[in-house]
Structure 1
């Protein structure tokens, strides 16, 4: 098959500026390219060539201001069997018009079929025009099929994944080395570390964790909350919300460590040094990719009952789900109890690692997507 994978106009691929969709596309492309002709299309970036070939994948990049028009011209020239478009249902109609014989697969990573984003007519036209729709969680799938029941026959969940070779649990020799080195560099050798990784925005809920921290410290004065992220991918400038977080953190300065934007390649060491991951999402999260990363790193997870997050948590097996997600007190006991028991953390962490090995590697994702592409072509 000759396949085009099209990113949104927000960030380039590879994910040198971050971005879950960009990580997803770059990771599956190299696996699928071992058996098929794969091109990844994204926006230009000063640090990337406009075209290149890498790991068997062709990368084509167009300026953001001309992005859709350039994609149309490219599709007319290259004649792909399948075009996989990410997260832009309102682009489908215009692309189908220029290559009506090409099969389109739409992957949906957020609530893109919400009323404020698509009219009934636009949503229906998109569904009629695509061969298949894949979603990153059952939750996202339901946001489509509850509004457009006729989409059920075309819609399926293909969960995202992780590179298992990049993440090393602390019980491995590589993981222990990473753990010790990262802790030493940050001066956290003897701390019990709860890790948050994500954009510093209100919907991600890091303020909830900071509000919960005083009661955690009362239970265990050795606790350190490590908050990794910035207000936007690659942007370490401060806005009012981030300033608010820093103000909260300053009140517990011996128990909070802020780490600004970290390139994806440097993230695994931060997981290795930590004792658990907490995802405090306040919005209906599609399914945060930190869950896959934490499982791969052998960390137990504490996550909010929002959107698709609970779909990868087996309660009490690889993590815990916070039902009262906007209440800081609800996070205190689950976090402190796990931090108090190394054996419990290792047991849950090993269950998570096994779960991701058995179903959430990039090889699994690529295999599932390839099957969808073949279905789109009627094979």
Structure 2
């Protein structure tokens, strides 16, 4: 299949400036590109080419002075040659991008509670749910929230948890993992301290820790 990935307007892919969605995309691309022809649409970034092919994946990076400008720049480059257009974390964009592409299938991935009424009006949310083939969520919590608001979405919801590359991260109970933990705690002077690891931004919207 010929698939377009439409990233959020915040940061580029690969995640040279960080970003959870951007990291997620970069980690799944090596697997998906083996079976499909992938084009990634993302934000333009000074250190990256505006249009390039890397490891059989095409990257098209467009200006994003605003979310609306970014969306229009992507609209200009999408056409009905794509079999599927997969949008990350922006359900309202499904309606904007699909309007002139009636024969193209659309799908959605959600990393946050983007179907809450303060994010998308209920009538637009229902239109989006009806238009997409499926909705991936990174947790059951996100999926359950959508289902509670819009029960008709249940058959389209798929929970796909973000994984961990065990080649990069050693388990806490392995010999190497235990050794690395002890060395790091000694280096930081916290050998006898209990440690809480919080892997996210420290912002109120992430909830209490």
- Same fold (TM > 0.5): yes
| Counterpart in the other structure of 2:35 | 35
CA distance in 1, matches of 2:142, 2:188: 40
| Counterpart in the other structure of 1:46 | 46
Contact 1:111 1:140 survives alignment (8 Å): yes
1:75 maps onto 2:89 in alignment = no
Any idea what SS the aligned residue of 2:72 has?
Answer: helix
| Counterpart in the other structure of 2:87 | 85
CA RMSD, Structure 1 to Structure 2 (Å):
2.3
1:152 maps onto 2:154 in alignment = yes
| Counterpart in the other structure of 1:352 | none
CA distance in 1, matches of 2:91, 2:13: 20
Any idea what SS the aligned residue of 1:34 has?
Answer: coil
Judging by fraction of residues, say which structure has more helix.
1
After TM superposition, list the pairs within 5 Å mapping 1:1-379 onto structure 2: 1-65=1-65, 66-76=69-79, 79-169=81-171, 172=174, 175=177, 178-179=180-181, 182-183=184-185, 186-188=187-189, 190-194=191-195, 195-204=197-206, 281-282=207-208
Any idea what SS the aligned residue of 2:144 has?
Answer: helix
Task: Note the C-alpha offset of 1:188.
Answer: 2.7
Q: How many residues align?
A: 205
Any idea what SS the aligned residue of 1:197 has?
Answer: coil
TM-aligned CA distance change 1:50 to 1:178, over 3 Å: farther
Q: Which consecutive unaligned segments of at least 5 residues does structure 1 have? A: 205-280, 283-303, 305-379
Q: What's the CA shift string for 1:8-53, capped at 9, x where partnerless?
A: 1111111122221111111111111112111221101122221232
CA distance in 1, matches of 2:14, 2:73: 19
Contact 1:180 1:189 survives alignment (8 Å): no
CA distance in 2, matches of 1:161, 1:57: 21
Any idea what SS the aligned residue of 1:75 has?
Answer: coil
Task: Give the TM-score, by structure 1 length.
Answer: 0.50
CA distance in 2, matches of 1:191, 1:54: 46
CA distance in 1, matches of 2:133, 2:198: 38
Task: Give the TM-score, by structure 2 length.
Answer: 0.86
TM-aligned CA distance change 1:44 to 1:150, over 3 Å: same
Q: What's the CA shift string for 1:82-102, capped at 9, x where partnerless?
A: 111011111111111122111
Larger Rg: 1
Any idea what SS the aligned residue of 1:196 has?
Answer: coil
